[in-house]
C-alpha cells in the first residue's frame, strides 16, 4: 500500500508510523553513541543500560519486578520478539489462541513454528468477545493465549473484567500468556493494564513491547520481552540465531527514553488523542460510520452505509486513484473464514495538515 501511495502521490494513511520524529534528546543520545565507539556487537540479551531501564520501567509503571540479568531480553523490534517467542514455545501441532482481527505477524510466526491458530472474534462497536467462544477455542493442544492490548487494528484497550476473564481461562487451562503491548503508552481512554499484573499471571506471561511507538522511532526497531527466567532463556536461544543482537546506539537512546517522567511520556498520547478526534470527527462529517479507538494509531470505519455494495478491498484499491488517499482493508487482519469485509483502517498518526488534506480529498468523493 505504501508503494501504491507513492505511485499515485496519495496521502498515506495505510502503514502505521508517525510522520514526525520523536524527542530530539533521544536522537542526541543515539548520535553520541555512534560517535563514541558504541558500534560493535552489544551483548546478545541487550545492553545492560537498556535491560536495566526496561526493568525499572516495568516496576515504576506497573509494579512488575523483573531481573535485568535473566528476565529481560532486548529484541529487534517487537516483531522479532513475537517470532522468537512463538518459535521458542511452540512445538508442531500446538495451538495458539488469539483475538481476531489480529496483527498480521502472529499467524505467520505461528505457522513458522508449526503451530495452529484458533481465533476468537472481537465484535464492534466495542470490540467485545464472547466468553463461550473463547472457551470453545481452547483444546487440549492449546499452549498459548496471545493477547494484543492496546489492540491493532481496532484500537481497543482490554478492560479489567476482560483481562480477569482471560487470566482465569489461562489458569484453568494451564496456558502460557504472550502479550503484545507495543501501544502501551498510546492510550486515550481508559488505562492500559498489563495481563502480567493480574494475580497468578506474572509467572505464566511473556510481555512484549517496543520503543518504536512509544517514542515515535518506529525505524529504530528496539523491542523487548520480559517474563520468567526459564521462558526468557528459551526465547533468547532462538534470538541467538535470528539476529543474535540488536543495534547498540538505538538501545542506549531507548534506555534514555524509558527514564522519562510520566508527564513527558504522556505527551505523545495527548497529541494523538487530538489527532484521533480531528480525523474521526472529519470522517463522521463526511458520512462514514466511525469506530473511535481508545488507543493506538488507528481508526476503523464501516463503509457499508457510505459505499453500499462495495467491499473494503475494492474500496481501498479504488481510493488512491479516485481521491489520492491510501487506507487498509481490515479484512487482511481476519483469518481464513473471512471477516471485516466492509471495514477500513486509517492511520491518524500524521501531521494535522496531512489529516486535513486527506479529509479534503475524501470530500471530493463523499462530500
Ligand X SMILES: Cc1ncc(COP(=O)(O)O)c(C=O)c1O
Say how far apart CA 66 and CA 52 lie, in whole Å. 9
Q: Is 77 in the site for ligand X (CB under 6 A)?
A: yes
Nearer to ligand X, 145 or 323 (CB): 145
Q: Is 217 in the site for ligand X (CB under 6 A)?
A: no
Say how far apart CA 44 and CA 42 lie, in whole Å. 6
- How many other C-beta atoms lie within 10 A of the C-beta of residue 159? 15
Angle, helix 352-366 to helix 312-323, in steps of 10 degrees? 100
Say how far apart CA 237 and CA 224 lie, in whole Å. 14
Q: Single out the segment in contact with ligand X by CB under 6 A; choices: 71-79, 163-171, 185-193, 324-332.
A: 71-79
Q: Is 46 in the site for ligand X (CB under 6 A)?
A: no
Site for ligand X in 78-137 (CB under 6 A): 78-79, 103
Q: Which of 209, 246, 239, 231 is nearest to 78 (CA)?
A: 209
- H helices within the chain, ranges in order? 2-7, 24-35, 48-62, 77-89, 105-112, 131-136, 160-172, 211-214, 229-242, 248-258, 262-265, 267-285, 312-323, 352-366
Q: Is 300 in the site for ligand X (CB under 6 A)?
A: no
Nearer to ligand X, 87 or 323 (CB): 87
Nearer to ligand X, 222 or 306 (CB): 222
Nearer to ligand X, 129 or 215 (CB): 215
Q: Which of 328, 331, 320 is nearest to 361 (CA)?
A: 320
Tell me which residue has cell 463461550: 132
Select from 5, 11, 14, 16 the one that contacts ligand X (CB under 6 A): 16
Q: Is 72 in the site for ligand X (CB under 6 A)?
A: no
Site mask for ligand X (CB under 6 A), range 226-245, x = bound:
--------------------
Let me know the angle formed at the C-alpha of 27 by 23 and 29, rounded to the nearest 5 degrees. 115
DSSP secondary structure string for all residues of 245-280: S--HHHHHHHHHHHTS-HHHHTHHHHHHHHHHHHHH
Q: Single out the segment in contact with ligand X by CB under 6 A; choices: 210-218, 258-266, 268-276, 322-330.
A: 210-218
Q: Single out the segment in contact with ligand X by CB under 6 A; choices: 56-64, 77-85, 87-95, 171-179.
A: 77-85
In the structure grid, which three cell numbers stand for residue 193, read together? 493494564
Q: Is 218 in the site for ligand X (CB under 6 A)?
A: yes
Q: Single out the segment in contact with ligand X by CB under 6 A; choices: 35-43, 58-66, 136-144, 218-226.
A: 218-226
Tell me which residue has cell 467491499: 311
Least Cβ distance, residue 360 to ligand X (angstroms): 27
Say how far apart CA 245 and CA 300 lie, in whole Å. 36
Q: Is 355 in the site for ligand X (CB under 6 A)?
A: no
Select from 90, 182, 283, 347 the one that contacts ligand X (CB under 6 A): 182
Site mask for ligand X (CB under 6 A), range 135-164, x = bound:
-------------x---x------------
Least Cβ distance, residue 210 to ligand X (angstroms): 3
Q: Is 12 in the site for ligand X (CB under 6 A)?
A: no
Least Cβ distance, residue 332 to ligand X (angstroms): 13
- Where do contacts with ligand X occur on this chain (CB under 6 A)? 16, 77-79, 103, 148, 152, 180, 182, 210, 212, 218, 221, 223
Amino acid at each position: 500500500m505504501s508503494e501504491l501511495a507513492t505511485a499515485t502521490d496519495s496521502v498515506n494513511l495505510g502503514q502505521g508510523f508517525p510522520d514526525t520524529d520523536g524527542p530530539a534528546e533521544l536522537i542526541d543520545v543515539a548520535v553520541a553513541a555512534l560517535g563514541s565507539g558504541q558500534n560493535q556487537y552489544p551483548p546478545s540479551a541487550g545492553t545492560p543500560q537498556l535491560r536495566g531501564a526496561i526493568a525499572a520501567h516495568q516496576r515504576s509503571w506497573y509494579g512488575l519486578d523483573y531481573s535485568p540479568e535473566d528476565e529481560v531480553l532486548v529484541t529487534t523490534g517487537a516483531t522479532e520478539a513475537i517470532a522468537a517467542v512463538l518459535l521458542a514455545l511452540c512445538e508442531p501441532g500446538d495451538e495458539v489462541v488469539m483475538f481476531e482481527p489480529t496483527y498480521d505477524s502472529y499467524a505467520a510466526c505461528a505457522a513458522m513454528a508449526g503451530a495452529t491458530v484458533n481465533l476468537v472474534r472481537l465484535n464492534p462497536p466495542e470490540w467485545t468477545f464472547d466468553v463461550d467462544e473463547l472457551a470453545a477455542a481452547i483444546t487440549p493442544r492449546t499452549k498459548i493465549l496471545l493477547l494484543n492490548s492496546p489492540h491493532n487494528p481496532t484500537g481497543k484497550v482490554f478492560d479489567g473484567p476482560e483481562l480477569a476473564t482471560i487470566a482465569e481461562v489461562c489458569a484453568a487451562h494451564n496456558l502460557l500468556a504472550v502479550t503484545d503491548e507495543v501501544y502501551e503508552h498510546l492510550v486515550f481512554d481508559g488505562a492500559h493494564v498489563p495481563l502480567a499484573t493480574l494475580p497468578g499471571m506474572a509467572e505464566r506471561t511473556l510481555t512484549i513491547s517496543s520503543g518504536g511507538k512509544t517514542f515515535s522511532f518506529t525505524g529504530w526497531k528496539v523491542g523487548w520481552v520480559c517474563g520468567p527466567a526459564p521462558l526468557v532463556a528459551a526465547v533468547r536461544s532462538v534470538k541467538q540465531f535470528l539476529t543474535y543482537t540488536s543495534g547498540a546506539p538505538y538501545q542506549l537512546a531507548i534506555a534514555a527514553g524509558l527514564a522519562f517522567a510520566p508527564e513527558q511520556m504522556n505527551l505523545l498520547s495527548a497529541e494523538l488523542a487530538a489527532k484521533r478526534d480531528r480525523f474521526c470527527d472529519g470522517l463522521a462529517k463526511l458520512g462514514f460510520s466511525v469506530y473511535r479507538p481508545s488507543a493506538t494509531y488507528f481508526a476503523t470505519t464501516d463503509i457499508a452505509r457510505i459505499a453500499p455494495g462495495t467491499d473494503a478491498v475494492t474500496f481501498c484499491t479504488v481510493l488512491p486513484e479516485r481521491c489520492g488517499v491510501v487506507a487498509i482493508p481490515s479484512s487482511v487482519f481476519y483469518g481464513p473464514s473471512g471477516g471485516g469485509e466492509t471495514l477500513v483502517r486509517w492511520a491518524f498518526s500524521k501531521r494535522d495538515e496531512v489529516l486535513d488534506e486527506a479529509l479534503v480529498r475524501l470530500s471530493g468523493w463523499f462530500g
